[in-house]
Structure 1
Amino acid sequence: MQVFETILVLLLGAAVVSSFAKRVNIPYPVLLAVGGALLACLPNAPKLDFPPDLVLVLFVAPVLMDAAFDTSLRDLRAMWLPVLSLVLAAVVLTTVAVAFAARWLFPDMPWAAAVALGALLAPPDAVAATTILRKLPVPLRMRMVLEGESLLNDASALLIYKVAVGAVVAGEFHAADAVPMFVLVVFGSAIFGLALTWPISRIMRHFEEAPSAVIFQFGLTFGIWLLSERLRLSPIVAVVTFALAMSRLSTRPMQTHIRTSSFPIWETATVVLNVLAFTLVGLQLGPILEKSSAGERLHSLGLALVILAVVIAVRLGWVFVHHLLVRLNAMRSERDGRKPGAPATLKGAVVIGWSGMRGIVTLAAAMALPAGFPYRDFIQLTAFVVVLGTLVIQGLTLRPLLKLVRLPSDGIVQRELQLARTTAIRAAMDALPADDTPTSRRLRDELAAALEHLESGAAPGARADNVLRRCLVAQSRHAVQDLRLSGAIGDDAYRQVEAELDWVELSAGEPE
């Protein structure tokens, strides 16, 4: 009962904090993590002891599934080179740099333990990246790079982490042995995720009720993760591959009423999980600090800050090197008469280099270290410092940085949205019967007016008929509400009409 009460209080407090964060334009993960850390320092602070394996499957799997399903595979393919450079090169360089820094600070630390520390600190977190970046005015291509990185880099880092931890347990470490296993696991996990797409899509088409469909979707998400672990595959790669493939099916695997009901449920569930995850990050400060004296804490904290600086510097350094290589390749293409790719800008490199927030995956990996692991307490403290440090330092300054560099808006989504809307309206007009009945004339006139409005560049919600429709819906709501209050209709009829009016209002678009 105490755990339930604690979670309830945390959710209510986090909802208030998140609302405040939106008002002051601060990413809510930052305030939640700081709030959790402050709460952990209070006497009799609440404790939530989740097993590390449960933390990963509970907090990471649904968020990855949701983020991957919404990711554009076309844009991801277009930006494959910068994504791959961050997923592989940046992770490996961070792992190596942190390992050398740890060995410099602690010469007696085993190399395998130092590599494990570097690997668990290497990947920026998918939850932090998607939560913070989607609230900021980031150009589409840059957002695709950062979200693509956040979807895949956990896999490469956790594979290195598992090899290093296994080497500590076994007593020997051979880096060359990890490469074949890495390739095998990645490809095996991708094939596993793709293989599930066809049968699952067939099953999902048979659901008639949204609650059953949503339960199946969440159970499937956790099931893919757990089964991948049992098969010694990468659950991250399997979940991401499955979600990307499902989102690309030409025939939708869900009926319309199920899709419109399940998407808001997923959005709410992922927000709840994000709230608990980032609060949990802050609450881990208490158990970590209890393991050492005041003097040891200050000394370890200073060394952890050194590692934090290394983590931030290595990412920035690699992004600038990659930017330089891309520019040199573009200049070489121009000299050879070949068409260069999309121009890379130094401003974009600065933003990508600064978008390296760590999160729940790093902390869960640190908590999962076996008892007796060399320098386990320092590794856990460092993980907390790096997670909280990157969230606060980079998360708080990302919006001011975007305003400072003034990245030009690419307008890709707006142009493609315009194309999709006009194409849909023209297709509807072509499908209208050729007869001259009043119904056909009315619909044809309405679609023609909508098309003319779109081609003028104005937003659909600003159309005169949509403005009027929203006003009429408001009056209709008041009239139906009066019927309900007077007892002329019951709640069953009221709720059904309310839902119908909701769809009419949504079809009118948002007011400008």
Structure 2
Amino acid sequence: MLIFEWVVGVLLGAVVLAALARRVGAPYPAFLALGGCALAFVPGVPNLALDPELALALFLAPVLLDAGYDISLRDLKANWRSVGGLALGAVAATTAAVALVAHLVVPDMPIAACVVLGAVVAPPDAVAALSVLRHVALPHRVAVILRGESLLNDAGSLLIYRLAVAAAVTGSFHLSEVAPTFLLGVVGSLVAGPCLARLYLPIAHRFSDAPSTIVLQFVAAFGIWLIAERLHLSGVLTIVSFAITVARYSPGLTAPRTRILSYAVWDTAVFVLNVLAFVLIGIQIGPILDRLTGSDRSDALILAAAVFAAVVVVRIGWVVAANGLRGLGRKLRRGAKPSLAPALAISWSGMRGIVTIATALALPTEGFPKRDLIVFGAFCTVIGTLVVQGLTLAPLLRLLRLEDDDPVGRETGRARAEAYAAALESLRTAGDASSVAALRAEFETALEEAERHEEGRAPESLPSDGARRQAIGAARDAVLRLRREGRIGDDAYYRLEEEFDWAELNVTPRAEV
């Protein structure tokens, strides 16, 4: 019962912290990290522990599936050099730099354990970055690079992580023995993901009710991760390639109601997983600090500060050198005014989060060298990047004044105009009823506005949508009054409320949802 009470209290506290984060335009993981840190010093906190073998599957599988579903394969291909450089090169450079720093600060830490620490803190977090980007207008290309990097860098860091963990546990490592298995695993993962997606889609299509469909989505996320683990494939690459394939082929197979409910459930699930991760690692920090006494505690604090500095500096150096200077050269050749603003925005968007926490929690609890130092260093790096970078990223982006030519808006406008034309054509044979005539007039007006725009950009909504939202609001008030007066019961009210929800959603631009 005590644990249940703590879970309820923690979830309530997380909701409050997330609300505060939204008010200041900060990533909610930053406030969750501070809350997890506070738990380390609260007396009477239950001693909760998670099986290390469960940590990666529990935290990474659903988060990666959710992020992979939203990524644009076309945009990834268009920016593959920048994304690849960050996802592979920056991860490798960060791992090496952190391993070197850890070895210098704690000379008796085995090299393999130093590499493990580097791999744990190397990948930035998608959830943290995207929660900031929602509050700040950002050039589309920069946002695509950040999303793609945070999705794909987990594969490289987890590969290094697992090889280093094996070396730390066994005390030996031979690249010649590992390389063939690694290459086979990468190729196999990129093949297995789409194949499993093709098997999943016909099965998912047989379920029409939203609860069953959503549960099946979670079963697929965890099941595919477990299958990849059993086949010695990369769980990250398998999940990501599965999600991209499903996202491409599922829209025509999923009912609109199920899709809307699914988005809400997955957003909630990712939020709860972040809460759980920060709580679990926060609870571990207290006992770790108790075990670290005297010089060990000093070494831990120095190591945490050094790792945080290395993570930030290496990313800035890598992005400015590999991306900023290349873009600078292109602009100079074109005679354009040079700017390092995009590179600065990308370099300061390297917050660490749930991936770092999950890999730290997944370390073996018995016999792993310097595990406490690694977990403590990882947690402090997460805290540091989320608080320092997370809380200052939005002001920095506003200061840089990055301009976006809004390619997504233009594409949306052109597609909306064609959709209006197709809808209007379908209404030409729908009869001459007054309601049909009124609807036809709406689409004709919207299409005329789109065709007058020099970029072929249709309006965000139909001309009458604002009036419809006003009418729906009045209808809601009337039904609510009937309920308060006892003239209708709750069942009737909830049925009408759902109808109004769908009607209002249909006439509300996405930016306002």
TM-score of the aligned structures, taking structure 2 as reference length: 0.91
Name the CA distance, whole Å, in 1 between partners of 2:54 and 2:250.
34
Residue matched to 2:302: 302
Instruction: Write out per-residue CA displacement over residues 361-403 of structure 1, whole angstroms, 9 at most, x where no aligned residue.
Output: 2233233333222222222221111111111111111111111
Task: Summarize the Cα distance change of 1:346–1:329 in structure 2 as closer, same or farther, 3 Å threshold.
Answer: closer
Residue matched to 1:229: 229
1:290 is paired with a residue whose SS is helix
Instruction: Write out per-residue CA displacement over residues 20-67 of structure 1, whole angstroms, 9 at most, x where no aligned residue.
Output: 221222222111111221222122234432223333222222121111
Name the CA distance, whole Å, in 1 between partners of 2:287 and 2:254.
44
Name the CA distance, whole Å, in 1 between partners of 2:333 and 2:181.
36
Name the CA distance, whole Å, in 2 between partners of 1:405 and 1:195.
44
> Which range moves more in the overlay, 306-315 or 251-260?
251-260
Residue matched to 1:254: 254
The CA deviation at 1:186 is 1.8
Name the CA distance, whole Å, in 2 between partners of 1:33 and 1:282.
8
Residue pair 1:123, 1:362 contacting (<8 A) in 2 also: yes
Residue matched to 2:23: 23
Counterpart mapping for 1:82-161 below 5 A? 82-161=82-161
Name the CA distance, whole Å, in 1 between partners of 2:122 and 2:22.
29
Name the CA distance, whole Å, in 1 between partners of 2:474 and 2:217.
38
The CA deviation at 1:436 is 6.2
2:421 is aligned, of 418, 421, 426, to 426
AA aligned to 1:399 is: A
Residue pair 2:68, 2:243 contacting (<8 A) in 1 also: yes
1:51 pairs with 2:41: no
Name the CA distance, whole Å, in 2 between partners of 1:156 and 1:83.
13
Residue matched to 1:390: 385
The number of aligned residues is 505
The CA deviation at 1:443 is 2.2
AA aligned to 1:360 is: I
Residue matched to 2:272: 272
AA aligned to 2:396 is: L
Residue pair 2:446, 2:463 contacting (<8 A) in 1 also: no
2:411 is aligned, of 412, 416, 439, to 416
Task: Summarize the Cα distance change of 1:39–1:294 in structure 2 as closer, same or farther, 3 Å threshold.
Answer: farther
Instruction: Write out per-residue CA displacement over residues 132-153 of structure 1, whole angstroms, 9 at most, x where no aligned residue.
Output: 3334322221111111111111
Residue matched to 1:197: 197
The CA deviation at 1:328 is 7.5
Residue pair 1:123, 1:153 contacting (<8 A) in 2 also: yes
Residue matched to 2:314: 314
The CA deviation at 1:125 is 2.3
1:348 pairs with 2:342: yes
AA aligned to 1:244 is: I
1:401 pairs with 2:400: no
Name the CA distance, whole Å, in 1 between partners of 2:361 and 2:88.
24
1:361 pairs with 2:355: yes
Instruction: Write out per-residue CA displacement over residues 419-471 of structure 1, whole angstroms, 9 at most, x where no aligned residue.
Output: 2221211110112234761344222112112334555678545x662222222
Residue matched to 1:2: 2
Residue pair 1:282, 1:388 contacting (<8 A) in 2 also: no
Name the CA distance, whole Å, in 2 between partners of 1:188 and 1:295.
47
The CA deviation at 1:161 is 1.3
Name the CA distance, whole Å, in 1 between partners of 2:155 and 2:57.
14
Name the CA distance, whole Å, in 2 between partners of 1:218 and 1:424.
33
Which ranges in structure 2 are unaligned for 5 or more consecutive residues? none
Residue pair 1:281, 1:359 contacting (<8 A) in 2 also: no
AA aligned to 1:447 is: F
AA aligned to 1:349 is: A
Instruction: Write out per-residue CA displacement over residues 275-323 of structure 1, whole angstroms, 9 at most, x where no aligned residue.
Output: 3333444443213212212553233201221122112111111112212
Residue pair 2:38, 2:282 contacting (<8 A) in 1 also: yes
Residue matched to 2:467: 468
Instruction: Write out per-residue CA displacement over residues 202-242 of structure 1, whole angstroms, 9 at most, x where no aligned residue.
Output: 11111121111111111111111122112211111111111
1:509 is paired with a residue whose SS is coil
Name the CA distance, whole Å, in 1 between partners of 2:96 and 2:382.
19
Residue matched to 1:338: none
The CA deviation at 1:343 is 11
Residue matched to 2:433: 438
Task: Summarize the Cα distance change of 1:486–1:373 in structure 2 as closer, same or farther, 3 Å threshold.
Answer: closer
> Which range moves more in the overlay, 431-440 or 324-333?
324-333
Instruction: Write out per-residue CA displacement over residues 455-494 of structure 1, whole angstroms, 9 at most, x where no aligned residue.
Output: 5678545x66222222221222233234434444433333
Task: Summarize the Cα distance change of 1:369–1:478 in structure 2 as closer, same or farther, 3 Å threshold.
Answer: closer
Instruction: Write out per-residue CA displacement over residues 226-283 of structure 1, whole angstroms, 9 at most, x where no aligned residue.
Output: 2211221111111111110111117623223322332222222222223333344444
The CA deviation at 1:84 is 0.6
Residue pair 2:446, 2:459 contacting (<8 A) in 1 also: no
> Which range moves more in the overlay, 231-240 or 280-289?
280-289
Residue matched to 1:493: 492
Name the CA distance, whole Å, in 1 between partners of 2:48 and 2:345.
35
AA aligned to 2:440 is: R
Residue matched to 1:67: 67
Root-mean-square deviation (Å): 2.7
The CA deviation at 1:329 is 6.9
Instruction: Write out per-residue CA displacement over residues 186-215 of structure 1, whole angstroms, 9 at most, x where no aligned residue.
Output: 221121111111121111111121111111
1:449 is aligned, of 445, 451, 471, to 445
Residue matched to 1:508: 507
TM-score of the aligned structures, taking structure 1 as reference length: 0.91
Task: Summarize the Cα distance change of 1:54–1:172 in structure 2 as closer, same or farther, 3 Å threshold.
Answer: closer
